[in-house]
Structure 1
């Protein structure tokens, strides 16, 4: 029971900060916030993603490229140019690495307005940090695992962020239905996207990339949007009007 609770907590907490901070804030600036709260969610993002910490600048640049070149040969992670999800993941890792190491000069339209915290960026991307988090996950399993099969979940903890990204990029551009013609292959994989916290409403998102609510029809539910509304009401963040 402890293992399943830990796995689900890590899955949803890391996914929440990936969609809330990295995607909706760093990449799209769907809301504004104070410097203090930005640093708080920056730190929580590092803690929750742990061994799979993703640099916000590299993530945002790659994601902006994805929107500009969705499902074309310039798209850094369209599933329609790879035979399987593992090839897509590897290509994404290479593009992300180029941005992380600043080996690739991004187009000027993709730069700017991206949160950066050099100290956390260096620590989070370091091999030492990834190893420490990996050891902590392993220690927890050694302490609380009661069945051998539970250890099969352990590798997912190590690569939680990239696994989330692979699911969204693969399924969100291959399977499901489309509300809009976006001149790409984006899909809404499911109208009840709880397991991926709204990220699989890719067709809706590509039509309205600045909208904080990924759900667009009455039967669609984006579980993160109500949380953002509450944060807006209590003035932790200020949602911007989608254009």
Structure 2
């Protein structure tokens, strides 16, 4: 894909580029600073059960918002859901601070269309007309792309989302949801401990530390490590890989080769031993009738895409 073609799928805007850079850099620095504060408090004041639970609950809810909501439902239409479920998933996903819903969907669909080739917004191998060295590409695909990639044309890749007035409204309120995701654990921490220190601790643990670890080990690692290291059981035409080490903190996202082989599958863990928290969450919602039409590849479909060369090499 040449540079001219890339310009057709992106938008040139100095205002949006500036906005993107501010968002990306802030999203790296502020959660990190808050995380340092949480660690300092842990050594000086200690860590309470409330802190741990706020971290775990907020991590899980926002993780499900992204992997089940933003990714599997909105970007790939892997299942159908009631409006209330869609709204809740969209809000919790927004609290993860991974970008506005509609733009996230557009950027992710663009990634799939041009995976690991020119046009992919966060490949560790190429960017527009440039090929990366290993370390440069790893940084770009992990966090660098969040503040320096070409702005995706959402009207081209996410027209269905833009036409949905409710989802567009949630997308427009992105910063409100991000702030809410930081404020809620602080309020809950204060109410449970009846102290101002509980407010601060809840904000740091359920907000900043949760967001920092989630960025690096829950989301960004998928674009970087999952395209560099791991197994490739399926032919996908890109460098996507499965990596079991980070399957749990990513909610199942690190079964990335599986996902690129079957993008519309609601299940990323395709074998019984492949832990996929997002899949478990989906099956739970399906059992109570809140979602339906859950897509999963058949045995024949999986067999047809098997990477025989990779299997032969072990």
TM-score of the pair, normalised by structure 1 = 0.77
Matched position secondary structure for 1:224: helix
- Residue 119 (structure 2) aligns with: 74
Matched position secondary structure for 1:79: coil
Distance 1:133 1:146 in 2: 14
Cα 1:2–1:31 change in 2 (3 A) is same
Matched, 1:60 2:113: no
Matched, 1:40 2:88: yes
Q: Which moved more, 1:198-207 or 1:110-119?
A: 110-119
Matched, 1:238 2:285: no
Cα 1:242–1:216 change in 2 (3 A) is closer
| Contact persistence 1:14–1:160 (CA under 8 A) | no
The offset of 1:191, in angstroms, is 7.1
TM-score of the pair, normalised by structure 2 = 0.61
Q: Which runs of 5+ in 1 are unaligned?
A: none
Distance 2:246 2:208 in 1: 27
- Residue 27 (structure 1) aligns with: 75
Match of 1:202 among 256, 272, 295: 256
Query: Could you give the per-residue CA deviations for residues 150-203 of structure 1, whole angstroms, max 9, x where no partner exists?
Result: x69974445566433211111211111111121211110117822211000000
The offset of 1:138, in angstroms, is 6.9
Which structure has greater helix proportion? 2
| Contact persistence 1:174–1:186 (CA under 8 A) | yes
Distance 1:152 1:174 in 2: 31
Cα 1:132–1:192 change in 2 (3 A) is closer
Distance 2:167 2:81 in 1: 15
Matched, 1:122 2:122: no
Matched, 1:87 2:140: yes
Distance 2:182 2:252 in 1: 27
Q: How many residues are aligned here?
A: 229
Distance 1:146 1:38 in 2: 31
The offset of 1:228, in angstroms, is 1.2
Distance 2:117 2:223 in 1: 13
Q: Which runs of 5+ in 2 are unaligned?
A: 1-48, 127-131, 191-195, 298-314
Root-mean-square deviation (CA), in Å?
3.4
